[in-house]
Amino acid sequence: MNDSTSAAASSEVFPVRRREVVIAAGVALLSPWLLAWGISLHVHAHRQTTIGATYRLLVEVPAALAAAALLTRLKWWRRAGWRAPDWRQMWLLWLPVAVVVAVWTLVLLYSPSQGVAYATATAALALAIGFTEEMWFRGLLLEALRPHGARSAVVVSAAVFGVLHILNFRGFASVLQVFDAFGFGLIWGAARIRIGAIWPFVLIHAAQDFAGSLSPYGATAPRPRIDLLDAALDGLIVGIGLVYALVLTRRSRLERAPSSAEPASTSEEPA
């Protein structure tokens, strides 16, 4: 089956209402960040405290509800990845899991002491962010783009995911975070294509964000000066992400991976 035929089959079985996805994504993703900007002066002094985490959790709620509503409207819950994974492909999670283990190792070495209230608030916030961002970027957006090929879908969804992180209002650090998020978006998106299920990435995303909030520079200590090492690390993440995504979305590998739900797996780009 050629690319155009399989793309048409995919659209016939799962009609892609791109306009709805784009409009809803714009409202749901930009509104919380604009709301956060509106209260940023008040929250800034409490950014890494329990109060700040609670404010940010409330900001995430509209985006999470919008994602759930749109998934229900499109009847895309299964297509977006809320299903059993392809267990034979689960070994591909070695890279995302290794990153989480490395971050948590750093956290445990420094014995965070922010308190139970802060840890609870940031854990809830990390889970909310993990759900919301994975639903929008590795769920809705990735699937809306899949008729154009898995490789294109992974790269574009990761790019949008990265660019929106500039709205975190952290100055030049947000610029570096764009590349950091782009790299992880490539890794998570490519693995999501192969594994099928999205819930492992919700958990991985949440665990990584939670660990970051408890890191030595997460709650009370000032962040270190941004230097060439930070930029080099983000560049390394992007490089690894590109290689990982290109390898995992090769046509030959996708054809060997069983299709558990959609006929769109054969519409991927050639190696």
- Which tens digit of pLDDT belongs to each residue from 132-181? 999 989 998 899 899 889 999 999 999 999 988 877 656 556 678 889 99
- Name which of 14-18, 49-53, 207-211 the model is least confident about: 14-18
pLDDT at res. 176: 82
- Name which of 5-9, 39-43, 69-73 the model is least confident about: 5-9
Full residue range of the structural domain in which residue 200 is found:
3-267
Q: Would residue 115 be called left, alpha or beta, if left means φ above 0 and alpha means ψ between -120 and 50 degrees?
A: left
From residue 95, give the alpha-carbon distance in Å to each of 98, 101, 158: 5, 10, 17
Alpha carbons 190 and 151: distance in angstroms, whole number? 8
Burial of 199: CB neighbours in 10 Å, binned 0-12, 13-18, 19+: middle
Which residues contact residue 56 at a Cβ distance below 8 angstroms, ignoring those fewer than 6 apart?
A: 36, 43, 125
Scanning the structure block, which residue is given the tokens 């604009």?
34
The encoded tokens of residue 187 equal 């890794």
Alpha carbons 236 and 180: distance in angstroms, whole number? 9
- Name which of 27-36, 108-117, 202-211 the model is least confident about: 27-36
- pLDDT digit string, tens, across residues 65-81: 888 888 898 888 999 99
The encoded tokens of residue 234 equal 């983000």
Work out the average pLDDT over 207-236.
71
Domain count, the chain: 1
pTM for the whole structure: 0.78
